[in-house]
Amino acid sequence: MTGRSPRRAAVAALALAGRAAAGPLIAAALVTALAGMGPAVAAWLSKLLIDGLAGATPASPARLAGLAAAAAAATGAALALGYAAGFLHRRAEAAIAHRAQAEIYQRVSGFGGLRRFEDPAFADELRLATDAAAEAPSVLTNFLFGLVRSVVTIGSLVGVVVAVWPPMAALLLVVTVFAVVAQLTVARRQADVARAVMATHRRRIAYQELLTDLRSAKEVRLYGLAGLFRDRMLGAMRTAVSAELRIQGRSAVVQGSLSGLGSVALAVGAGLVAYRIAGGELTPGDFALFLAAATAVQGALLGMVNSLQDAVRCTRLFGHYLNVAQAPDDLVEGTVRPGPLRTGIVFEDVWFRYDESGPWVLRGVDLVIPAGSSTGLVGRNGAGKSTLVKLLCRFYDPDRGRITWDGVDLRDLPLSWLRRRISATFQDFQTYELPVGENIALGDVETMHDKGRVVAAARAVGLHDTIEALPAAYDTMLSRIFVFDGSDDPGVQLSGGQNQRLALARSLLRTDADLLILDEPSSGLDPVAEHDLAEVIRRTREGRTGLHISHRLGTMRQADDIVVLADGVVVEQGTHDALLALDGQYAELFRLQAANYQAANYQAAEAVAG
């Protein structure tokens, strides 16, 4: 993704801040401005007090006491106002962070396809964007408040410095210009480093997750992978940290030099003022005033430069937020709503590959899935079966050719409408770390609280009794690590086959879908469950269109039509009997599988015979 102009990014970040928290930000700005006047008032009162004490100007004891109290009060009030501004700003920050997260996740969940989630560059962009969303608007507003405060402080003090010794103001200006340029350079470098080490960070996180994720825990232990992954994680961490430290080292040198220059300027100024006091041209109070003013002006300028550095870094990072938040739709939506499926779904010379430079996965698929019929899809590993399903759900668009729904190109349908017409159990089905009942109900969130339907779906896949036996029945958490809403119920884990049945139950819940896709629904099921599943599929599919993928060719017998996919094209099509008679690829796969069973039967018979 391309970068954006920092000015546009800064304006967008401030606009986001304004949208999220205009009220608290205005209040914070006013209080900050008031606090900014504190140093000037305190310095002036201190000068009057010292002149009075030193006898340079006549003053009664009561006036002196009043001046001392007023100077202390001015300092105290400035501090208190500073805290109040800080609190108001914190409130604004919370609102801004909330708004930024809401906007970015709304955009991310609006991507209808899968391509962006498979793109490592987008993964980096997303990580930087979420960091920037949390940080940039508040850093920028912080900078602006600092600016307001500094301008007020400097404005009110600079007149005083000029009155004491005008060249001092010019000296401060020289130091400041140098400081701004140097810090901007550092900021630019820091943003570049954040971008450069992102891939390294991603690698570190991937290994970190492998070391802590329950799903990888078994293999990590069995194959003794912990040391390997830990070393790789630490290696990635070292690379990232040393790149960051190099930049921080340079920043420290720049900042140290700036402080040195500031001190030299201050020392020269103080010496000259003292010289003029000794010559009777200035009073002792003027010396105190000069010191206070010079220190405060320098402090304010350096503070401004430092927060400018943060602001520039965040502005550059915020470009990534904008890249995600304003990313165009990955799939263009259509508007045609043809109604429930009447004639069927047709693949017309469909070509597809995952990458522009990658191999073709589908190479001109022509296929008709007639409405109301059940189509079986078979083929060897990598033939493109799941890819075909993903195109059917429009997670991707074909590179060539088209897929039609009752004659309408899928690209002309609203995505949400199309998805609502389809129910599916994917090969890589998901078990959610949520209560078991919700795991089923997610299949139809609109009727999520209809427990009767959830129970019926669980019964249909033979899971009801298992669920009833769980500690909290349908409310049992399916997790060993994620505790829900403060509950201390540790949750449970289901077996692989039970999880698969759960995913099936979820897909069965969407009874109004036209098309039921089952991608390897019985791979983890025991023989009894697989036998029962065939009946469940037959019942739930009644009147609906079915697409069923399986390597267990025995389960394909009941399909009205079987399609054989090889190397991304349809090579055979027909009923089970017709394909056997054809004596092609299907017949070969079927015989191989049958031979395995027969060999097993033969061995079992031999074992029984003795």
Ligand X SMILES: Nc1ncnc2c1ncn2[C@@H]1O[C@H](COP(=O)(O)OP(=O)(O)OP(=O)(O)O)[C@@H](O)[C@H]1O
State the minimum distance, in angstroms, from the CB of residue 401 to ligand X.
Answer: 16
Stretch that binds ligand X, among 50-58, 102-110, 377-385, 455-463 (CB under 6 A): 377-385
398 binds ligand X, rule: CB under 6 A:
no
**Which residue's structure tokens are 């299907």?**
586
Helix (H) or strand (E) holding 350: strand 344-352
357 binds ligand X, rule: CB under 6 A:
no
Euclidean distance between CA atoms 493 and 187, whole angstroms: 48
Helix (H) or strand (E) holding 422: strand 422-425
523 binds ligand X, rule: CB under 6 A:
no
Cβ(545)–Cβ(569) under 8 Å?
no
385 binds ligand X, rule: CB under 6 A:
yes
What DSSP character marks residue 117?
G
Q: Which is nearer to ligand X, 239 or 386 (CB)?
A: 386
379 binds ligand X, rule: CB under 6 A:
yes
SS (H, E, C) 328-368: CCCCCCCCCCCCCCCCEEEEEEEEECCCCCCCCCEEEEEEE
State the minimum distance, in angstroms, from the CB of residue 572 to ligand X.
Answer: 15
State the minimum distance, in angstroms, from the CB of residue 113 to ligand X.
Answer: 11
Please, which contacts does 442-450 make with residues 24 or more away whose CB atoms are closer than 8 Å?
A: 442/506, 443/505, 443/506, 443/507, 443/508, 443/509, 443/510, 444/509, 444/510
548 binds ligand X, rule: CB under 6 A:
no
381 binds ligand X, rule: CB under 6 A:
yes
118 binds ligand X, rule: CB under 6 A:
yes
Stretch that binds ligand X, among 132-140, 343-351, 380-388, 507-515 (CB under 6 A): 380-388
Q: Which is nearer to ligand X, 126 or 301 (CB)?
A: 126
361 binds ligand X, rule: CB under 6 A:
yes
Contact pick of 427, 466, 575, 593 for ligand X (by CB under 6 A): 427
Q: Which is nearer to ligand X, 383 or 458 (CB)?
A: 383
State the minimum distance, in angstroms, from the CB of residue 381 to ligand X.
Answer: 4
Cα-to-chain-centroid distance, residue 147: 31
State the minimum distance, in angstroms, from the CB of residue 413 to ligand X.
Answer: 23
Instruction: Quote the tokens at residue 386.
Output: 């799941």
Sheet holding 374-378, edge to edge: 422-425, 515-519, 545-549, 374-378, 561-566, 569-574
| Nearest residue to 534 (alpha-carbon basis) of 425, 460, 597 | 460
Backbone angles phi, psi at 375, to 5 degrees: -110, 130
384 binds ligand X, rule: CB under 6 A:
yes
Q: Which is nearer to ligand X, 43 or 525 (CB)?
A: 525
Restricting to residues 231-260, which ones interact with ligand X according to CB under 6 A?
A: none
Spell out the residues 6+ positions from residue 470 whose beta carbon is closer than 8 angstroms to its own.
436, 476, 492
Strands 422-425 and 408-409: unpaired
Contact pick of 176, 387, 545, 555 for ligand X (by CB under 6 A): 387
State the minimum distance, in angstroms, from the CB of residue 452 to ligand X.
Answer: 35
State the minimum distance, in angstroms, from the CB of residue 402 to ligand X.
Answer: 19
155 binds ligand X, rule: CB under 6 A:
no
Euclidean distance between CA atoms 170 and 282, whole angstroms: 20
Cβ(129)–Cβ(13) under 8 Å?
no
Euclidean distance between CA atoms 277 and 273, whole angstroms: 6
319 binds ligand X, rule: CB under 6 A:
no
Q: Which is nearer to ligand X, 386 or 593 (CB)?
A: 386
Contact pick of 76, 260, 382, 407 for ligand X (by CB under 6 A): 382
Contact pick of 75, 216, 386, 466 for ligand X (by CB under 6 A): 386
Q: Which is nearer to ligand X, 207 or 352 (CB)?
A: 352
376 binds ligand X, rule: CB under 6 A:
no
Cβ(112)–Cβ(394) under 8 Å?
yes
State the minimum distance, in angstroms, from the CB of residue 20 to ligand X.
Answer: 36
Q: Which is nearer to ligand X, 386 or 466 (CB)?
A: 386
Stretch that binds ligand X, among 312-320, 383-391, 465-473, 489-497 (CB under 6 A): 383-391
State the minimum distance, in angstroms, from the CB of residue 222 to ligand X.
Answer: 24
| Nearest residue to 189 (alpha-carbon basis) of 200, 197, 199 | 197
Instruction: Quote the tokens at residue 102.
Output: 């809401």
Angle subtended at Cα 413 by Cα 408 and Cα 414, rounded to the nearest 5 degrees: 170
3 state DSSP class of 469:
coil
Stretch that binds ligand X, among 29-37, 208-216, 381-389, 528-536 (CB under 6 A): 381-389
Euclidean distance between CA atoms 517 and 443, whole angstroms: 13
Residue 528 to residues 155, 358, 522: CA-CA distances in angstroms?
85, 42, 11
Q: Which is nearer to ligand X, 390 or 421 (CB)?
A: 390
354 binds ligand X, rule: CB under 6 A:
yes
Q: In DSSP terms, which residues pair with 362 in a beta bridge?
A: 352
Instruction: Quote the tokens at residue 399.
Output: 């590179």
State the minimum distance, in angstroms, from the CB of residue 577 to ligand X.
Answer: 24
Number of residues in contact with ligand X, rule: CB under 6 A? 12
Residues in contact with ligand X by the rule CB under 6 A: 118, 354, 361, 379, 381-387, 427
